[in-house]
Chains A and B, each alone.
Chain A
Amino acid sequence: MSVALARPRLRTPGLPVPLVLGVLLVGAWAVLAVGAPWLAPYDPIAQDMAAKLQPPSAAHWLGTDNFGRDILSRVIWGARIDLQIGFLGVIFPFLIGTCIGAISGYAGGIVDNVFMRLVDIVLAFPFLVLMIAIIAVLGPGLASFYIAMALVGWVSYARLIRAQVLVLKHADFVLAAKSLDFGHGRILFRHILPNALTGSIVFAMSDAVLVILNGAAISYLGLGVQPPIAEWGLMIAEGQGFITTAWWITTFPGLAIVVLAFGFSLLADGLGELLGVRE
């Protein structure tokens, strides 16, 4: 009964244009990432000293770097890592933030107070600085990046969900559920949460953009993905010394980041429109 009420309602019959474009862009990268072993023309880490620093050509469509590695292959393989960063870097904060936010909003009182002060503490530090500090303690690498992301990123989700739960816990369908003597766990996770999630799902899409950029920034600083693995941020960092002499080393992974980020932004906009969420 209440489950029917909880289902989000579609506002317009046709799909929003940004959503379609976003799905296409992100989907294209996903296809490249999955198909990398078959689609990439070269081995992304194989060095070929005879072919170093070559501009884009028929043999190497996007040129080669200072080790003679094919940029196109590295960009395609890099999509694997960057999409993984976008997914894992969002999912952990999302899960943690949702649980904490829901419990905080539903329980109220001292529990709410404790969790929200914790949120304030995390928010008091600049995001990137806190990330770098945590990674510096844990040691460079992708695993550290995900842990740092989970430790720092959950606060936004917690605040979003908590606000929704605060509103919804006084809604009629919740009162109805309560009068049926359902347990708190059932009310919170089966009745309130599904209704509270839409906003954070949309936020998660735009958050993916920031997470990918963060991942690239962390790798750029040498704290994320380790060489010789292909990752876009790392590729930009490695090509920085050649920016005036071999622009293609940095330009193409840079473009890749822009396109993927743009795709996620469109996806977020489109989803928001579809689900009737205003940011």
Chain B
Amino acid sequence: MRRRTIHALALVTLLAGSVLGSSLALAEGGVLTIGRREDGTTFDPIKTAQNVDFWVFMNVHDVLVRVDRTGKELVPGLAESWEMSPDGLTYTFKMRDAKFSDGSPITAEDAAFSILRIRDSEESLWSDSYQVVKTAEAKDDRTLVVTLNAPSAPFLASLAMPGVSVLSKAAIEADEIDFGEMPVASGAFKVKEWIRGDKVVLERNPEFWEADKVKLDGVEWISVPDDNTRMLKVQAGELDAAIFVPFSSVAELEKNPDLTVHKDPSTREDHLLLNHEHPALAKKEVRQALDFAIDKQAIVDTVTFGVGEVANSYIPRGALYHNEDNLQRPYDPEKAKQLLAEAGESDLTLNYLVEAGAQTWEQTAVLIQEQLAKAGVTVNLQKVDPSTAWDIEVAGEYDLAENYWTNDVIDPDQKTTFVLGHDTNMNYMTRYNNPKVKELVDQARVEMDPAKREALYKEIQVIAKDDVHWIDLYYSPFVNVSRKSIENFYQNPLGRFFLEDTVKN
């Protein structure tokens, strides 16, 4: 009996759905299907630091201050305008007249709640970055006042970080766990369905303050872990688009007249971590010798198939305050040999930690192994499970290891602090320690004059390069593919897809 009812219901829903669906498809913009490697973990922005989550909820939650398409400018989001007090300690935001997907108004109270929550919640992964906030209060429904403990140049940029999206206070207080699954949305899309491990189905949010701009009816993020399969599905038209295009497939996909390959500028930099606690790697000349001994152009050509470009600084090209004139040591194995001999390390053997299954990293490791051999350095590759690689790096039980960084905010302070500023993670696991650099990092954080700040960051880049805190390898873009019928499908350098602009023909 029960079974039959369900069948009948399903049939009715199906019929209604198909009728509605087809009529809507004519009137509206259809559903965009995007293939990606893995499923996300949560829609609660403070509980994740992963791109798999960020890239999806950046279109579900809106922020007070947005980053524009170029990734270099801050533009109004849910805050229409803002003012900073002359002492740099008080920010006053004027909120836009906007609504959540449940129809309730988005108030200054919600914004204040969201800022304090990322700072204070025990489950927040980002509380360190927001300790500079002293208070956040709603003066009235539309006026938000935030005070800081100290002037902070990167503060405004940090409000554009997806983790501090404006969330509905009422919804979170009602059921915080459920919010992570089925959030109340302030962005262009809301969650319709989430089949764990398979796909996230989003539908347009009619209450979104820019709703008339949104063309798509919905977006489906579909998990297709195997790179080859994902590419084939786009080629066959089963998916409208796919992200994480392997470098090795770019040339082949570009030949296909039905497809567009996107190489959107990103802030990704791949680098080789050096453990400064290793007795030989503690010597600056040895680190410089390794930099001379690694042929980055060969890595770019072989691993990224020419899609990437050689890196010359920890601040990526295209990001704020990148130093274009930073030193780029040429590939010179003889010079490396000589430097090593002078340092008394002619017979050096190093352990290179490689994450199993990370194809481009494995390829880089095999290349670097052979390149360093030419400079007389023996490299042993030590392949480990990806889940343990990070722990081994944190524990310092490695000599060399490749890693990467992508920026979450446009301001360079976050990365600089993590990588050079003696942060709690030992300067991104390298154990690099230069008090002069730490001083400059602290100084740059509070310097409010952009020209002076830029000079400080350039100086930091020059010293970091001279010290070889790590070895810069290459920058690479976000490589995505979409069918020709899809327009305006792009990612900004911070990873946000502007799906409110995307059109499906």
* Chain A residue with Cβ nearest B388: A136
- List chain A residues, Cβ under 8 A from B246: 241
Q: In terms of DSSP, what is the predominant structure of the interface of chain A?
A: loop
Interface string of A125-145 (1 = CB under 8 A from B): 000000000001001100000
In contact, A67 and B248 (Cβ under 8 angstroms): no
In contact, A245 and B369 (Cβ under 8 angstroms): no
Query: How many angstroms from the CA of A245 to the CA of B356 in the assembled complex?
Result: 23
List CB contacts (< 8 Å) of B201-249 with chain A: 227-228, 231-232, 246, 248-249
Nearest Cβ on chain A to B352's Cβ, whole angstroms: 10
Residues of B within 8 A of A (CB): 227-228, 231-232, 246, 248-249, 251-252, 298, 301-302, 354, 356-357, 359, 362-363, 365-367, 369-370, 381-385
Write 29 A-B pairs (CB below 8 A) sorted by A numbering.
Answer: A45-B370, A47-B366, A52-B302, A66-B248, A66-B302, A67-B363, A67-B366, A136-B385, A140-B356, A140-B384, A221-B356, A222-B357, A223-B356, A226-B382, A227-B354, A227-B366, A227-B383, A228-B366, A228-B369, A228-B370, A240-B228, A241-B228, A241-B248, A241-B359, A242-B248, A243-B228, A244-B232, A244-B252, A245-B248
Q: Tell me if A238 counts as interface (CB < 8 A to partner B).
A: yes
* Chain A residue with Cβ nearest B363: A66
Nearest Cβ on chain B to A21's Cβ, whole angstroms: 35
Given contacts A66-B363, A227-B365, A244-B232, 14 further A-B contacts (CB under 8 A): A49-B302, A66-B302, A140-B384, A222-B357, A222-B362, A223-B356, A226-B382, A227-B362, A227-B383, A238-B362, A238-B363, A240-B228, A244-B228, A245-B251
List CB contacts (< 8 Å) of A196-211 with chain B: none
Query: How many angstroms from the CA of A76 to the CA of B249 in the assembled complex?
Result: 28
Interface string of A229-244 (1 = CB under 8 A from B): 0000000001011111
- List chain B residues, Cβ under 8 A from A66: 248, 302, 363
List CB contacts (< 8 Å) of A100-118 with chain B: none
In contact, A244 and B385 (Cβ under 8 angstroms): no
**Given known A49-B301, A227-B365, contact A222–B249 (CB-CB < 8 A):** no
In contact, A221 and B302 (Cβ under 8 angstroms): no
Query: How many angstroms from the CA of A242 to the CA of B248 in the assembled complex?
Result: 6
Query: How many angstroms from the CA of A216 to the CA of B359 in the assembled complex?
Result: 17
Nearest Cβ on chain A to B353's Cβ, whole angstroms: 12
- List chain A residues, Cβ under 8 A from B382: 226
Selected contact of A67 from candidates B227, B249, B302, B356, CB within 8 Å: B302
- List chain A residues, Cβ under 8 A from B363: 66-67, 238
Nearest Cβ on chain B to A8's Cβ, whole angstroms: 45
In contact, B251 and A67 (Cβ under 8 angstroms): no
- List chain B residues, Cβ under 8 A from A227: 354, 362, 365-366, 381, 383
In contact, B356 and A49 (Cβ under 8 angstroms): no
* Chain A residue with Cβ nearest B360: A241
* Chain B residue with Cβ nearest A246: B248
In contact, A245 and B252 (Cβ under 8 angstroms): yes
In contact, B227 and A140 (Cβ under 8 angstroms): no
Nearest Cβ on chain B to A161's Cβ, whole angstroms: 36
- List chain B residues, Cβ under 8 A from A238: 359, 362-363
- List chain B residues, Cβ under 8 A from A222: 356-357, 362, 383
- List chain A residues, Cβ under 8 A from B228: 240-241, 243-244
- List chain A residues, Cβ under 8 A from B227: 241
Query: How many angstroms from the CA of A146 to the CA of B384 in the assembled complex?
Result: 18
Query: How many angstroms from the CA of A45 to the CA of B381 in the assembled complex?
Result: 14
- List chain B residues, Cβ under 8 A from A244: 228, 231-232, 249, 252
* Chain A residue with Cβ nearest B232: A244
In contact, B249 and A245 (Cβ under 8 angstroms): yes
Query: How many angstroms from the CA of A136 to the CA of B381 in the assembled complex?
Result: 16
In contact, A47 and B356 (Cβ under 8 angstroms): no
**Given known A49-B298, A241-B227, A244-B228, contact A226–B248 (CB-CB < 8 A):** no
- List chain B residues, Cβ under 8 A from A52: 302
Question: What 6 pairs between A and B have smallest CB-CB spacing?
Answer: A222-B356, A241-B248, A140-B383, A227-B366, A228-B366, A245-B252
Query: How many angstroms from the CA of A49 to the CA of B374 in the assembled complex?
Result: 15
Query: How many angstroms from the CA of A52 to the CA of B356 in the assembled complex?
Result: 23
Query: How many angstroms from the CA of A49 to the CA of B251 in the assembled complex?
Result: 18
Query: How many angstroms from the CA of A240 to the CA of B226 in the assembled complex?
Result: 10
Query: How many angstroms from the CA of A242 to the CA of B359 in the assembled complex?
Result: 11
- List chain B residues, Cβ under 8 A from A226: 381-383
* Chain B residue with Cβ nearest A68: B302
- List chain A residues, Cβ under 8 A from B249: 241, 244-245
Nearest Cβ on chain A to B470's Cβ, whole angstroms: 22
- List chain B residues, Cβ under 8 A from A245: 248-249, 251-252
* Chain A residue with Cβ nearest B227: A241
- List chain A residues, Cβ under 8 A from B356: 140, 221-223
- List chain B residues, Cβ under 8 A from A228: 366, 369-370, 381
Nearest Cβ on chain B to A112's Cβ, whole angstroms: 39
Query: How many angstroms from the CA of A227 to the CA of B356 in the assembled complex?
Result: 11
**Given known A49-B302, A245-B248, A245-B251, contact A67–B383 (CB-CB < 8 A):** no
In contact, B365 and A47 (Cβ under 8 angstroms): no
Nearest Cβ on chain A to B224's Cβ, whole angstroms: 15
Query: How many angstroms from the CA of A67 to the CA of B365 in the assembled complex?
Result: 12
- List chain A residues, Cβ under 8 A from B359: 238, 240-241
Query: How many angstroms from the CA of A154 to the CA of B301 in the assembled complex?
Result: 47
Query: How many angstroms from the CA of A45 to the CA of B383 in the assembled complex?
Result: 18
- List chain B residues, Cβ under 8 A from A140: 356, 383-384
Nearest Cβ on chain A to B356's Cβ, whole angstroms: 3
Nearest Cβ on chain B to A149's Cβ, whole angstroms: 19
Interface string of A157-180 (1 = CB under 8 A from B): 000000000000000000000000
* Chain A residue with Cβ nearest B305: A66
- List chain A residues, Cβ under 8 A from B385: 136
**Given known A222-B383, A238-B362, A240-B228, contact A67–B367 (CB-CB < 8 A):** yes
Nearest Cβ on chain A to B93's Cβ, whole angstroms: 47
